[in-house]
Each structure stands twice: as C-alpha cells, then as structure tokens.
Chains A and B, each alone.
Chain A
Amino acid sequence: MTAALVLGGMGLALAALLSLARRLLASREADTADEIVNAIDALLPQSQCAQCGYPGCRPYAQAVADGERLDLCPPGGPETVIKLKSLLGRESETETVAEPPGQVARIVAKDCIGCALCLDACPVDAIVGAPTYLHAVIEEHCTGCELCLPPCPVDCIELVACPTN
C-alpha cells in the first residue's frame, strides 16, 4: 500500500515537472529552428540566383532545414555541399555538383540601350543606371547569378571570369 502511494506520488510529481519543462522550452524550440536556418544560410554563397528553385538563399536554407536536397546550389559548388552535410549530419547522402564558374556580369556599353529592365532583375542591386542612360555592373557587388540575362532585350550582358578575388 505504502509502496503504491510513494511510487504513484513520484510519478505524478515527475509528470508535473515534465509538462512544466515542455511549456518553458516550447518557445526555445522555435528559436532553435531559426538558428538552424541561419546556420545553413551562412554557408550558402548568397548569390540570390534562385537557380535552386527558391526565390533566394534564405528561402532555400529554410527548405533545406525542412529536408530539401543539398545539391541544388550551383554557385556553392561541391564545397558547400560538403559543409552542409557536416552541419546537418546528413553525411550519407550522395550528391554531386560541378565546380562553380566564378563569374561576374558585364554590360557591353556599345550595345546597351538603357532600357532599365535589368535593374529590377538584380537581386543585390549591383547594376546602376536609369532609363535611356547607359547601365553598368558594380563588379564588387555582382554575384554572377545570371538573373539579369533573360530580361535584357538586346543581349548586351556578358559573363566574364571573376577578377582576382
């Protein structure tokens, strides 16, 4: 009889402790999820190129945290895949990515008609210009994402190898 009471009491006390702990730690869980996304985001090249199918690096980081494949980032290359694998403990996955090209966009001045369409396409505001004025790419800020190529009506944007890093 005493034994049943003691054990039952202990069970109740521990259950109360557990439910309390769960309530206290629930808010932390959301923080941790955010931290994981941040950690993934920090490993991505931040070219914002959307080649992964997501509208930027952070959305892809969110998707990776939710279980998306790790090999969708061409600018990151194999190095990023290796780092993501070790961060997430998903070493067993066998994915291959080609080496990133390391490029920046350059506007061919004699062909540019100043249409300003590429300005809106650049995810990092690396193109300066205004309608009817010549545009130029700020190489320092260009991530080589190629998003400015499709909107250009005269195909005056070329990709050149990255100047010495």
Chain B
Amino acid sequence: MSDELGAEDAEFTPLPPEAGAAAVIERIEAAGIVGMGGGAYPTARKIREAIAADADWVIGNGMASEPGVTADATLLRDHADEVRTGLDIVARCTGAAHTALAVPIDSDVRGGTPVGLSYPAGDEKRLVAHLTGREVPATGYASDVGVLVLNVSTLFAIHDAVIRGRALRQRIVTVAGTDRWVAIGTPLADLPLPGAATEGYRVQGELTGRDVASDAAVAPSTFSVEVPRPTSWACIRCGWCASACPEGLAPERLHRAFEADAADAAVFDCIECGACTAACPSQLDLVNEFRAIKTRMRREQLAREQAERARQRSAARTERLARAAHERDRQRAERMEKPRQW
C-alpha cells in the first residue's frame, strides 16, 4: 500500500482551533468535499441541513460498505486520529451533544464504538437505530431524526481541509482487493488491476456496485474498483436469495419482474445491500436489476402524472370554450330580442 500523495502541498492556510462554524463549513465547501461513502452529496450542504434540523448526533460511519471493500478499515488503521479529529470538528460545527465513531465489532480502533451488527451494518438506517435507538422513516434520511452520518473518508478529508489546509485531491480506494491512496481523477485504466478490462470496470464493490465504461475515472465517492463480474447464468429458483435478504423480500420474484419488464412495488423496500447477489449461485447482478426496475417505475410514474395533468388541462380548456360559446349565444339571443335603439 502506498501512503498519501503530496502530503506537503496545501491550498489553504490551516484554520485555527477557535474558528467558528461558518468558517469551517465554508472551508469544507471550498475544499470540494462530498460524501465519500458513495453518496457524493456535498458535505457542506449536509452539515448546514443538519444544523437547520437541530441534529444532536454525529456518527462517523466506519462500517465496511460491503465485505471485500476494506478502504475504510485501512483508513481507520492508519489514520484513526485524523478521522476522530474530523468527527470532533463536525460535532463542534453542529453543536451536537453526542458523537460516535462506528467501527466493526472486531476492530480495535481507539475511541471507536464497536458495533455488533451483521451485514449490512453500514446501512445508515440500521446504524442509526443501533446507536441512537431512533427509527429513520423508510423513505427518509438520518437527518429526519436529528442524526448526521458521515463516512470516515469524508471525516478524514474534513480534517485535512481544516487542520492542514488541503483540498480533497486523493482518497483510499480498494483496487482489486488492495487499498491504495489514489489521486481523484485518475483514469481507471491507469490503476494496477489484474488483466486489462476492455469492456469496463466494476466500481463500488462486487455486490452493490455498478459497471462503468473503460474510460471512467476515480471520483471523490469511488471507494472500490475491480474488474467486472464473470458472466451469469439463468435463475434456477433455488430461493437462497430470499433467505439472504435482510429486508425479508423475495429477490427471485423481483428478478422475474425485471425479466418481464413488469412493475413490482416491493422493489422500493430493497436497500441495495447485495446480500442476494452474494447468495446467488447463478451470479446474477440482482441489485442492478432492481435499480433498473426502480428507475423504470419512477419514470412511468412521472409519465402518468404528466398525462393526468394534460388530461385535466384539456378538460378545463374544453369546459372554458363551451362556457364562452354559451355566453356568446346568450348575448346574441339577448340582442335579437331587444329592438334596436337608434
């Protein structure tokens, strides 16, 4: 594993410890920090929203996003102090009373809170429920219950921006199983991957990730890069996916909905953890099938709403024209009845 790149360069002057929340958030924004756990949501905006929502909890998410992605674990092993400082900076910004650095149960990171959840423990809703006892609404976010969850890589970047005055220019990426510091913007083709992938790469993990074109590059939110999964076979209806699903769904039924281009509202309960993908002996890329169903159903819903609006507008117009015609006829009849006044 190579260490951080260009540690001596700095774009900004380090902020003093007494810097106010506004200055810190402005620095986070200027450093270009976004959610590095995959979400890529602008971190400054997320913190501002947490302040507006009176968040009293800040959680550093150091749970592995999926088995096999070890980038977060490596960062915690080598830079736990920086991550904890990042967490403290955010806690000071938001005025949150409680903080926790969630780490896997077998981790010995100092100051970490070992979380004894099984996969998908990195799932924000599960983590929040475990640590705070608050239930995040199914369609909501942690901020809805006053909790701010940030990935440990994001916290490290916040530390770098505030204490060392460095913009977000690098991150730890799990490259085919090995964790490396990679400059953001590096073409995936330049990464040391076994064998040349001409058809593209798999980013964000084997189970829950997605395939990208071969000319893609490392983004701030890219935590894992590998060569694509091998080909898959037909579903044999073994039902292993249903036993694996932590949400109690029947992935096999959703898979058939995908193949039939059908809609299935149950797909919106899928948290895209990839447990079914791991269980599937046919190596089907189930999570991406379910994402496709979600996208298609949302698009169809939009089309239906647009059609309904058009129908109402058309009906309103027809009625308006009829009313105008009726009014014209009435006035004409009135004129005909009255003799002309010369």
- Report A's interface with B, CB cutoff 8 A: 41, 44-48, 56-58, 123-126, 141, 143, 165
Q: Are A123 and B311 in contact (CB under 8 A)?
A: no
CB of A19, distance to nearest CB on chain B (Å): 39
Query: Which candidate, B101-109, B115-123, B312-320, is the interface stretch facing chain A?
Result: B312-320
Chain B window 128-151, contacts with chain A (Cβ cutoff 8 Å), 1 for yes, 0 for no: 000000000000000000000000
Please tell me if B40 contacts chain A, counting CB pairs below 8 Å.
Answer: no
Additional 7 contacts, C-beta under 8 A, given A45-B310, A124-B313, A126-B313: A46-B308, A48-B314, A56-B318, A125-B313, A125-B317, A141-B313, A143-B310
In the bound complex, residues from chain B placing their C-beta under 8 Å from that of A123 are: 314, 317
User: Interface residues of B: mostly helix, strand, loop or mixed?
Assistant: helix
- 1/0 per residue, CB under 8 A from A, across B299-342: the answer is 10011001111110110111000000000000000000000000
| From A46, A56, A126, contact of B307 by CB (8 A) | A46
Q: How far is the CA of A141 from the CA of B309 in the complex (A)?
A: 8
Asked if A124 and B314 sit within 8 Å, CB to CB, the answer is: yes
- The answer on a CB contact under 8 Å between B310 and A46 is yes
Of all chain B residues, the one with the shortest Cβ separation from A44 is B307
Nearest CB in chain A: distance from B227 CB, A: 32
Give the interface size class of chain B: 10 to 19
Q: How many A-B residue pairs have CB under 8 A?
A: 37
Q: Are B314 and A46 in contact (CB under 8 A)?
A: yes
**Choice from A44, A46, A47, A125 contacting B316 with Cβ under 8 Å:** A125
| A56 cross-chain contacts in B, Cβ below 8 A | 314, 318
Q: In the assembly, what is the distance between CA of A114 and CA of B77, in Å?
A: 69
Chain B residues 196 to 243 lying within 8 A of chain A, measured CB to CB, are none
For residue B319, give the distance in angstroms from its CB to the closest CB of chain A. Answer: 12
> Is A165 within 8 A of B310, CB to CB?
no
Bound-complex Cα distance A126 to B313 (A):
9
Q: Which residue of A lies closest to B315 (CB)?
A: A58
Inter-chain contacts of B307 with A (CB < 8 A): 44-46
- What are the residues of chain B within 8 A of A125 when measuring CB–CB? 313, 316-317
Question: Contact: B317 with A46, CB < 8 Å?
Answer: no
Interface-central residue, B302, B306, B308, B309, by most chain A CB under 10 Å: B306
Whether B313 lies near A165 (C-beta < 8 A) is no
- Chain B residues near A41: list those with CB within 8 A: 311
A-B contact pairs, 6 of them (CB 8 A): A48-B314, A56-B318, A123-B317, A124-B313, A126-B313, A143-B306
Residue among A41, A46, A56 with the highest chain B CB neighbour number at 10 A: A46
- Bound Cα distance from A105 to B306, whole angstroms: 16
Closest to B300 in A: A79
Q: Which residues of chain B are within 8 angstroms of A57 by Cβ–Cβ distance?
A: 311, 314
Which chain A residue lies CB-closest to B311? A46
Chain A residues within 8 Å of B310, by CB:
45-48, 124, 141, 143
The smallest beta-carbon distance between A132 and chain B, in angstroms, is 22
Is there an interface contact between B303 and A165, defined as CB atoms closer than 8 Å?
yes
| Chain B residues whose C-beta falls within 8 Å of the C-beta of A58 in the assembled complex | 311
Task: A41 to B310: give the CA distance in the assembly, Å.
Answer: 12
* Bound: A124/B317 CA distance, A: 7
Which residues in A have their C-beta under 8 angstroms from that of B316?
Answer: 125
Q: For residue B321, which residue of chain A has the nearest CB?
A: A120
A-B pairs with lowest CB-CB distance, top 9: A46-B307, A46-B310, A124-B313, A46-B311, A48-B314, A124-B310, A143-B310, A125-B317, A124-B314
Assuming A44-B307, A46-B307, is B302 touching A165 (CB within 8 A)? yes
A44 / chain B contacts, CB cutoff of 8 Å? 307
> How far apart sit A125 and B314, CA to CA, in the bound complex (Å)?
7
Q: How far does the Cβ of A35 sit from chain B's closest Cβ, in whole Å? A: 16
CA distance in complex: A69, B314 (Å): 23
C-alpha gap A47/B309 in the complex (Å): 10
Docked pose: A9 CA to B302 CA in angstroms = 61
Chain B residues, CB < 8 A from A126? 313
The chain B residue sitting closest to A123, CB to CB, is B314
Central interface residue in B303, B308, B314, B318, by most chain A CB within 10 Å: B314
CA distance A44 to B302 in the complex (A): 14
- Chain B residues with Cβ below 8 Å from A124 are 310, 313-314, 317
In the bound complex, residues from chain B placing their C-beta under 8 Å from that of A46 are 306-308, 310-311, 314
- The complex places the Cα of A44 from the Cα of B310 at a distance, in Å, of 11
| Complex Cα spacing A44 to B307, Å | 8
Kindly provide the distance from the CB of B318 to the nearest chain A CB, expressed in whole angstroms: 8
Residues of A within 8 A of B306 (CB): 46, 143
- Which residues of chain B come closer than 8 Å to A143, judged between CB atoms? 306, 310
